[in-house]
Amino acid sequence: MKHAFLFPGQGSQTVGMGREIADAYKVARATFDEASDALGYAMDRLCFDDPDDQLGNTEFTQPALLTVSVAIMRALAEEGVKPDAVAGHSLGEFTALVAAGSLDFADAVRLVRSRGQYMQQAVPEGVGRMAAVLGLDRDVLGEVCEVAEQGQIVSLANLNCPRQIVISGHLEAVERAEDGARAAGASKIIPLPVSVPSHCALMEPAGEQLDADMHELELKDLEIPLVTNCDALEIGAAAEVITAARRQISGPVLWGDSMTTLADLGITRFVEVGPGRVLTGLLRRIDRKMEGVNVEDNASMAKSLERIRA
């Protein structure tokens, strides 16, 4: 049975994440120490207790989530479980690059901290908006967004699974698109509590800054396949990593298509590595035949290992 590791993105963070795994596995504890050394602040303190209420700030959220997922991945490796392929949702794609051997972990946490800063700087707070739209096909919602633009930006941002799509852009344009989606028959619209409108053209300045940073890093060819958000296609060469990362920040996340690509590569079990069960839940909506497990704490580790080893 071939396994793909899936890494969650922003929104999955929660205070206390990673604590149990760090207490149970020395390699996981060392991962938090490595992140602390790279960033100059106590990563374990941020993730376990968040005493300064920073975990919701994107420049702290991004390295924190990456650290927790890498810590759990290293614990899984000690248990003899390694991926045959990887993918990550938005931010999680950088964790996937670490898992695939292309990006050094210390470089990765510094890179995603900067990524969060660039995203925040690209659009002042209150200018952008994101909303999840349920019940419409991508073609219909795409047409709704085109009508709603009116000189501003609003577009499909996260195509998570059939009829569950996130839109992103200027506040007013997204609100117009929400009205249009209701008129087109959307079953539910959920405004997202985010500070930046990710995965739309407003993020292009952040992509340019990220591109410059990545050209300074020593990236390696991937050791295992990674399926990208931007194209839902497999990549393997270091040269493809920078292009994909730049396009991803301002383009839509093709998550449903990415899972289908992994299945076409022969993946038969998907392991969500990191806090929450968002990606595991999406699997069932993409294809009910896809088997998913998640690992976020000691209980889920034990349960998933039992299924994997059966």
Say if residues 59 and 116 touch (Cβ distance below 8 Å): yes
SS3 for 1? coil
Say if residues 160 and 116 touch (Cβ distance below 8 Å): no
Q: Which of 68, 51, 56 is nearest to 17 (CA)?
A: 68
* Active-site pick, 12, 199, 300, 304: 199
Cβ neighbours, 10 Å, residue 77 = 14
C-alpha separations of 152 from 44, 69, 266 in Å: 41, 36, 42
* Active-site pick, 3, 12, 89, 90: 90
3-class SS string, 211-271? HHHHHCCCCCCCCCCEECCCCCCEECCHHHHHHHHHHHHHCCECHHHHHHHHHHCCCCEEE
* Known active-site residue 187: no
* Known active-site residue 304: no
What CA–CA distance (Å, rounded) separates 261 from 263? 5
What CA–CA distance (Å, rounded) separates 71 from 69? 5
Which secondary-structure segment (H or E) carries 7? Answer: strand 3-7
For the annotated catalytic residues, the residue numbers are 90, 199
